[in-house]
Structure formats: C-alpha cells, structure tokens
Chain A
C-alpha cells in the first residue's frame, strides 16, 4: 500500500513537496514542505500537514505556507514554519513568532584547539555554569530599573555593549545589528516588564544551552576562513536562548488581544492560536512594536551572556581575549517576524516574514548582511542536539528566490518530552554523553533526559536537505565537547 501522504502531496523536486490549496477548504495558497521522501512518513504522523495547511488560511499570505526540514508539530504554526504576508493587506500573527520571541543562537570563535581545551573542559563548563545564570526560576546578575529596561527594549544589543558587555563589533555581527527599529515599550504590558526585569542576563531552561564545541569538518575552507574558522579541532562556543519571560508574556498578551479582534476584521482562522490582525491595523502595529521590544531584549540578553562566556574563558585559560581570538562569528534569530522586501512573482513586494523555528538565510551581496560577510552571504547557525553536532551554513540566492531567504533552525524534535524521559533517564543521558567525551552540567536531570539525542531528528540529515535544496550552503560542522543546560 502506498504511504498515505502520497495521496496528498505533489512532488516539486526531491527535496520539496507541495500540499495543494484544495487539501483543505479555506487555504489561500498551497503549502510547501522541504523534506526528503524518507522524512515525510514521520512528518505525516506528526500533524504537520494540518498545521502547514492552517497557516495557508492567513490573509495576505504569498505564495506558499512553508515548512523547513526540521519541521514538527507545534501549537498553531508548525515549528519550522515560514510564512510571508503582504504588508499592504496581510496579517501578522503572534503565534507565527511564538512565545519565545527571538529565541536564537550566537556563536563565538576562539583560536584555542580541542587539545588545549580538552584537559580543562570540566573546569570550563563549571565556570560557565557559575557565571551564566541558568535554570528554572534563575535570576540575573544584572539589576535594571524599569527605565533601563525600556532602554534595553529600544536599543537591544547596543545597550549591552554600551554598558560594558561586549563591544560594537559584536553588535555589527548580529542579525539586524541586534536591534529591530520601531520598538515601543509603551506597547509592552506591566506584567511582561515585571517578568523581564529579573531575568535579563539569564539562559533560562528547557532546550536552552551553552555549548563548547570543536570543529569536526570544514566543507569549504576558503569561505570558513572569512568567518575566522581555519582548522579542524578549533574550539567554538554556541549560546542558545531568547527573550525569557518578557517575550513569553508579550506573546500571551497579544494572542489574547488579537484573538478578540479577528472577527472585527472579518478574518476566519482554523486554530485560535493563529490569532492575527492586519499589519496596518492598530492591533497589528502594536504587536510588531511590542515584538521588537522583546526581540531587542533577547539580543541584549545574548550579548550579556557572550560577555560572561568570554570572562569564563579568560578566567580558565589565563589568556587575554585577544590572545584567544574570542570574536563573535554571528547571531541569528529563529523566532521572529520581519518586514522585508522580496521578489514575488517577478515583482518587488514588502512582506512580513514570520519565521517560527526558522533562520534568515540572506545571500552574498544583500545589504542586510554585515560588511564582513557581504561576499560570502549571511552565516546561518544551526544547533543540533547535545550528542550530535551543529552546523554553520550560509544564506543563498536560492533561499531568496524560494523561501524568503529562510532555512532550518535546528534538528527538530521527533519524540515528546514525556516519551524522551520514559526512554532515557537524565543520569543515563549524562553517562552516554560522558562516553562520547562530552561533559554536561544541567540544572535538572529530568530536563537533561528530555533533550536526549533520541528525541531529535538527525541534524546531519536536516542540514543535508537544506544544502541539497540549495536554501543554505553547509560550510562547517562542529561537535560538542561540553554543555551547560538550563
């Protein structure tokens, strides 16, 4: 018997499959899933088709509701979803960004080698664990007033740099220079601010982490060199976190608010978590102004954490930042909505690109790619799970043509947290990682089990598809040496 998804999907090519707009009444455009044939079986079981189809209901969506190969069942939008809506008459949906607004990844390079770091990895992980507040209920080392928080929300990464956490170069090598313009703290509720104040400069819990890794493969040496990555064994540090409680509350507030106005605007949505409002409406604008605040907070947050990571390395190796070459490679957002200009059906069009568990992947020459990378394209940072690896890729023209300059954001879950905990105990996961030579320090052992390798798709496979499909070009692979889990 042929697989059930074969009756639904049309093959576009080996790595792209289309859900026709006739699949579900109310779809305005078809859906497109980037995946290998082998992956589709699981994607089918995971209700992703329904969610991709539901997103296609959004007014103003062009020309497809898309899913990246790491896609999995989310709430409302699938995780790994990309949807662009016309700014002129389309909608913005807070659920298309998610609760952890500007959850993202920042990569620091070093000139240290795995041979140098290996013998001191336990000390380094302990130092990172002590210096970067993490875990549930953790409070930050920073004490900001409400007025300072407003500045954080307006300035983003630059606020942190101005206050001694990193420098202007870090800010330059951050997506959007660490700041979405138009942030308006007046559109952020008192509750969101109350959650945000004590949590600035914290990693959080769940899937957030700090990872010390070593380069295991370089696919394009010349290009990697532009990013300061020269050799196998070179040590990198990856920071994964977002906008903490402030972002969660902004999303909570605006899903509720927009849910109350969908009817007023005559919008019909198949899932209440897709609540939305016209981009040009007061409610839509308010959300984008509040979302910018949360996104900027996240960039300030990662900037502060970067600073403490540098301090930890300096403490453990007794060398200066310059001696160890502790420079930021790049920082990407993977839960965000952006107003961007793209070419759709041959015409330039302003669109709001929702990336829910997806990464911007702009090509060489694009004005939004920082000067340092203008010739190679925007670095895309793709973390895998704790036991496997992560990738640095680059944005491409093909992504610009087909996915609004977007690609995958990680491996993508395949196992529920409960199932992961049933099949693995945290202590066992720690032992398996230790056998692989990976040191782990986690706030909670249960949390560790939830993030076991088995709970995720194989990142190699996911990145291979984005590479073959041409929506990002793989450049470097790195494997973990040590991990701090929230």
Chain B
C-alpha cells in the first residue's frame, strides 16, 4: 500500500505530500504528517479532543486554514493530536474533531516547531483519489 504521507525537503523548511482515497482523507493524512514532524505519533495518547471548524475561499486555502488551526492549538494550548475525524467536508469549509493530549515532557520528545502552513507550493489534487501538498515554515 502507498504511504499516507511523505516529507518534502526544502532548503529552509519542510513540506508534506499526503495521499488519500479522496481529498478529505488526504487532509487527515496531512495533519498526521504535520504532527509527525513535531513528535512521534505513537507517543500521543487519545485523552481529549478539540472540535475544529474552518472556512476559506477555496480548497487550497482550506487546507492551509485547517493546518494553521491545528498549529495554533498546539502553540497556544500545547495540544498534540494523532487522530482526526473530518465530519463535514465542503470545498470551502470543514468541521472536524481532533483527538490527542497536551504535551507531557516526560513522554513526548518534541522535535521541531512549526510556525505556520504557507501558501507556497500549496496544492490540492483530486485526480487519483486525493493528493495534497503543503510547505511549512519551521
């Protein structure tokens, strides 16, 4: 089976290319890929959840908005997530629930900080299921 996501190298930053049966699943896999940059996904327990709602003018912006919302929850509330359920998914809006826990420095070895998801190289491709690409500022 193909990978859910893979890393894209960039001189200063790092990106994720994610795949799915459809774009919605690719959005989920991008979020997993992003948190895998921050910490080992296996180390995140499902203790609590956050409900997320984002809107944007188009699909690409929606991808950036979705990831930036998660980055904000990590940065402001120290939340790490490993599982995501996108419950409603339109071209310009989504509602989701993210499962995880707050950082516990005794168990979580944080790797890299992510400042934001950028619009540079941002892509949402519906061909062949779903494939999306995003570059982060780290």
Which A residues are closer than 8 A to B by beta carbons? 46, 72-76, 79, 95, 98-100, 135-137, 191, 194-195, 198-199, 204-206, 245, 248-249, 251-252, 255-256, 259-260, 271-273, 275, 413-419, 443-444, 446-447, 450
Contacts and interface: CB of A to CB of B under 8 A. Distances in A.
B11 A248 contact: no
A72 B112 contact: no
A259 B64 CA distance: 12
A100 B115 contact: yes
Interface in B90-138: 103, 105, 109-113, 115-116, 118-122, 135, 137-138
Interface in B48-96: 56-57, 60-61, 64-65, 68, 71-72, 75-76, 78
Contacts of A204: 113
A252 B68 contact: yes
Contact of B110 (A136, A191, A248): A136
Given A75-B135, A206-B138, A245-B76, A256 B56 contact: yes
Interface string B3-25: 00001011111100000000000
Contacts of A46: 11
Interface of B: 7, 9-14, 38, 56-57, 60-61, 64-65, 68, 71-72, 75-76, 78, 103, 105, 109-113, 115-116, 118-122, 135, 137-138
B137 A75 contact: yes
B114 to A, nearest CB: 9
A473 B122 CA distance: 40
For the complex of A and B, 6 pairs with smallest distance between CB atoms: A75-B120, A272-B119, A75-B118, A99-B115, A416-B9, A273-B120
B123 to A, nearest CB: 11
Given A98-B137, A136-B113, A76 B118 contact: yes
Nearest to B119: A272
A239 to B, nearest CB: 18
24 contacts: A72-B12, A74-B120, A75-B119, A75-B121, A76-B119, A99-B137, A100-B137, A136-B110, A137-B105, A194-B76, A205-B112, A206-B113, A245-B72, A245-B75, A245-B76, A248-B71, A249-B75, A252-B68, A272-B60, A413-B11, A413-B12, A417-B112, A444-B110, A447-B111
B57 A195 contact: no
Main secondary structure of the interface of B (DSSP, over half): loop
Given A137-B78, A252-B68, A418-B14, A447 B112 contact: yes
B14 A416 contact: yes
B120 A271 contact: yes
A99 B118 CA distance: 9
Interface-centre pick from A98, A417, A446 (highest chain B CB count, 10 A): A417
Interface-centre pick from B65, B76, B109 (highest chain A CB count, 10 A): B76
B109 A251 contact: no
A195 B72 contact: yes
Nearest to B9: A416
A260 B12 contact: no
A415 B38 CA distance: 20
B113 A205 contact: yes
Contacts of B12: 72-74, 79, 413, 416-417
A383 to B, nearest CB: 15
A444 B121 CA distance: 29
Contacts of B75: 195, 199, 245, 248-249
A260 B71 CA distance: 21
Given A251-B116, A413-B12, A137 B103 contact: yes
Nearest to A263: B57
Contacts of B118: 75-76, 95, 255, 273
Contacts of A255: 118-119
A450 B12 CA distance: 10
Contacts of A415: 11
Nearest to B105: A137
Interface-centre pick from A95, A136, A206, A249 (highest chain B CB count, 10 A): A136
A28 B121 CA distance: 23
Contacts of B10: 73, 75, 416
A245 B113 CA distance: 10
B78 to A, nearest CB: 6
Contacts of A413: 11-12
B59 to A, nearest CB: 12
A418 B9 contact: yes
Nearest to A253: B68
A416 B37 CA distance: 14
A191 B11 contact: no
A293 B58 CA distance: 29
Contacts of B110: 135-137, 443-444
A272 B119 CA distance: 5
Nearest to B77: A194
B58 to A, nearest CB: 9
A419 B120 contact: no
A439 to B, nearest CB: 22
Contact of A206 (B9, B11, B109, B112): B112
Nearest to B39: A136
Contacts of B13: 74-75, 417
Contacts of A446: 111-112
